[in-house]
Amino acid sequence: MPWLSTAYESRKGRAARSYNVKIFFKFQKELILATKYEAQELQKDQVYAVLKSEYHRQFEFRTRRYIVTVDLTQKNYRCLCCKFEKDGIICCHIIKVLTNLNISQLDDSYFIERWRAKERKQLTRQNTVPEIEIEKSRPLRHNILSNKLSNIASDGSRTMETFNYVLEEAERMQRKLNELADEVRLQQSQSVQQSGTNVLQDANDAVRLPQTESAQESDTMLLQDPNNAQKRGRTKKVTRQIGIVEDIRSKAKSNFTCTHCREGGHNIKTCQKKHLPPVPKKQRKGNQEMLTTPINSSSASAASKAKKGKVKN
């Protein structure tokens, strides 16, 4: 690319051959960012401090300082930003330190398989599972053998010659497996017989031993029921005590009546008889008697005259 300097051409060409297109563009950005930094040597060939150059430092509010550790013998480089550990791409701070050390080639460990192109990925079918895990897990052994035998079956089914060869080898393997299984059964049966004789000898020795005083006492002791401990907390028979406020609210709920249907237990909002005409309010007994008893005109006039006479007197 024309915007890249010639100092990074060898490193860029290696990355272009190793990375896929998207990851290579991100690696190019790290190369460009490396030109804005400067490296300060704290310990020779071991520790370096990387920070923005003086020109680019004036455009930032706060300059950050990154520590890069170098191990030239093991070709191991680590930065404080941990970009390679997180993203799998080497950071611009390490690139700047490598440029100061005149190192133009990166080790293969910094080009992980995940970011390689599909046609350049190094596919390996080797068994990378540790032997300790294989010995412990039978399903793991079954999966490894299934994958291996499936590949053999796909290669052996191409022609009749390969098919017959694989079939003969499978029968031979089956006979060998049967022999190994018989040997394992014999070993297990012999070990069980030996362990049984040892157990019988131990039991006979234990019977012949004289009983000690503690054993005799344990034979005469009788087991008794343990003492019942009193349970903590309130007993279940006692009912919960109702507070004053709760008592008043419960009474108020049972006393109020609806203003529409004049029934208790609900109000006009929850009334289910709103479609019916409202029931009139009940009158008091005195007023009800006054309304219900007929009023004669003669008796009313006589009562009014008597009241007037009393007033004059």
Per-residue pLDDT of the chain (313 residues; tens, 9 = 90+): 333 444 456 566 777 778 888 888 899 899 899 999 999 999 988 999 999 988 888 887 778 899 999 998 888 999 999 999 888 899 999 999 999 998 888 888 888 888 887 766 654 444 455 666 677 788 888 888 888 888 888 888 889 999 999 999 999 999 999 998 888 888 888 887 776 666 556 555 544 544 444 444 444 556 677 777 777 777 666 567 778 888 877 776 666 788 888 887 788 888 888 888 888 877 655 544 444 444 444 554 555 555 555 544 4
Q: Tell me the one-letter amino acid at 285.
A: K
The C-alpha angle 151, 154, 156, rounded to 5 degrees, equals: 105
Residues 6+ apart with CB under 8 A from 174: none
Structure tokens at 181: 């299984």
Q: Give the phi and the psi of residue 14 in degrees, each rounded to 5.
A: -65, -40
* pLDDT in the model for residue 265: 75
For residue 68, count CB atoms less than 10 angstroms from its CB and return exposed for 0-12, middle for 13-18, buried for 19 or more. Answer: buried
Residue 243 DSSP one-character state: P
Q: Tell me the one-letter amino acid at 124.
A: T
Residue 268's CB is within 10 A of a number of other CB atoms, namely: 13
Whole-angstrom Cα distance, residue 281 to residue 283? 6
Residue 221 DSSP one-character state: -
Residues 6+ apart with CB under 8 A from 145: none
The C-alpha angle 287, 290, 293, rounded to 5 degrees, equals: 145
For residue 112, count CB atoms less than 10 angstroms from its CB and return exposed for 0-12, middle for 13-18, buried for 19 or more. Answer: middle
Whole-angstrom Cα distance, residue 260 to residue 276? 9
Structural element, H or E, at residue 196:
helix 160-208
What pTM did the predictor assign? 0.39
Q: How far apart are the first and last CA of the chain?
A: 132
Edge-to-edge strand ranges of the sheet holding 47-52:
37-43, 47-52, 66-71, 76-79
* pLDDT in the model for residue 287: 46
Whole-angstrom Cα distance, residue 137 to residue 82? 35
Q: Which of 91, 84, 1 is nearest to 39 (CA)?
A: 91
- Look at the chain and count its residues: 313
* pLDDT in the model for residue 48: 94
